[in-house]
């Protein structure tokens, strides 16, 4: 065996070890996420009651808008000046899930690469805490988005048109019959609930973002007003249910004696900077 062949074999062996470590870490993360809850669901009774009230209120609002608001809002949107519609067209794509899933997924991938090499205990702890929090955002936004991207096609509601808000073609895979719920709004409000749960101080900005995306979907006549309300409610509820799932396993969140879900303290900015310098620097 030549020197170059020996070097290639050593590199290949090292890469194989790192790949196995990544797979093992991913398997361990999934086992932790799917583990039996450390806290019973009975501790979340108060939270679940709130969710039921929110779901019922949202359902009533959706039906009300279908009957009394949808057609009016559609006509109003058609009468908007073109320059304003163009502004909303430029804004509305920021409601796509890729704006959240791509960066969070990319960071998770980089953390997986970093964790595949030998690390000290503090670094592994910081990376584990970051993985839990970023993974929570990824799941809370991505999972409901993926599920309801299919469900909306089963429902088959027509997008705003002269056919009116009560035209349906169930189990249609045509884009023009995929109006209920609004996927962009679902993503925006799931992000509001998920990121806001971790960073409460960011909620005013997240509210502004979510509401602008919701309004933009009506303004560009991509959705009826009831689609937007349904998307907002579904995105919020699903993100909160994912938060509760994590809290029952003490992953980034914990359930207090009063049944309230609270975010656990994460690594300090100084520790994160120290770990980043150690991983990136020479």
**Residue 9's pLDDT is what?**
62
Residues forming beta bridges with residue 262, ordered by sequence position: 254
Instruction: State how beta strands 253-255 and 261-263 pair.
Output: antiparallel
User: Which CATH code fits 70-280?
Assistant: 1.20.144
Residue pair 157/227 in contact by the 8 Å Cβ criterion: yes
pLDDT tens track of the chain, all 282 residues?
Answer: 565 555 556 566 666 767 787 787 788 888 888 888 888 888 888 889 999 999 999 999 999 999 999 999 999 999 999 999 999 999 999 999 999 999 999 999 999 888 877 778 888 889 999 999 999 999 999 999 999 999 999 999 999 999 999 999 999 889 999 999 999 999 999 999 999 999 999 999 999 999 999 999 999 999 999 999 999 999 999 999 999 999 999 999 999 888 899 999 888 888 888 877 777 765
**Residue 14's pLDDT is what?**
61
Would you call 250 helix, strand, or coil by DSSP? coil
CA distance 82 to 222: 15
Class of residue 94 by CB neighbours under 10 A (exposed 0-12, middle 13-18, buried 19+): middle
Domain ranges of the chain: 70-280
**Residue 13's pLDDT is what?**
65
Nearest to 256 by CA among 54, 39, 50: 39
Give me the phi and psi of 254, to 5 degrees please.
Answer: -140, 155
Class of residue 169 by CB neighbours under 10 A (exposed 0-12, middle 13-18, buried 19+): middle
**Residue 274's pLDDT is what?**
83
């Amino acid at each position: 065996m030549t020197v170059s062949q020996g070097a290639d074999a050593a590199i290949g062996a090292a890469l194989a070890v790192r790949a196995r470590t990544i797979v093992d870490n991913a398997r361990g993360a999934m086992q932790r996420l799917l583990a039996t809850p450390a806290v019973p669901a009975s501790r979340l009774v108060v939270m679940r009651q709130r969710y039921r009230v929110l779901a019922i209120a949202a359902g009533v609002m959706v039906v009300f808008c279908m009957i009394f608001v949808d057609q009016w809002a559609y006509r109003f949107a058609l009468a908007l000046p073109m320059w304003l519609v163009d502004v909303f067209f430029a804004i509305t794509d920021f409601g796509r899930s890729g704006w959240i899933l791509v960066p969070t997924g990319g960071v998770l991938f980089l953390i997986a690469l970093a964790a595949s090499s030998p690390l000290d205990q503090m670094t592994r702890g910081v990376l584990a805490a970051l993985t839990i929090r970023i993974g929570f955002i990824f799941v809370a936004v991505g999972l409901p988005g993926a599920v309801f991207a299919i469900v909306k096609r089963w429902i088959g509601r027509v997008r705003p048109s002269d056919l009116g808000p009560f035209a349906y073609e169930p189990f249609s895979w045509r884009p023009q019959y995929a109006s209920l719920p609004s996927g962009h709004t679902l993503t925006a409000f799931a992000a509001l609930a998920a990121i806001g749960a971790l960073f409460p101080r960011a909620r005013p900005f997240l509210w502004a973002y979510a509401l602008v995306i919701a309004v933009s979907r009506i303004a560009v006549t991509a959705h009826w007003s009831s689609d937007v309300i349904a998307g907002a409610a579904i995105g919020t509820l699903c993100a909160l249910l994912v938060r509760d799932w994590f809290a029952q396993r003490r992953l980034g969140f914990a359930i207090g004696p009063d049944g309230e879900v609270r975010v656990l303290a994460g690594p300090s900015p100084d520790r994160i900077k120290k770990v980043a310098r150690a991983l990136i620097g020479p």
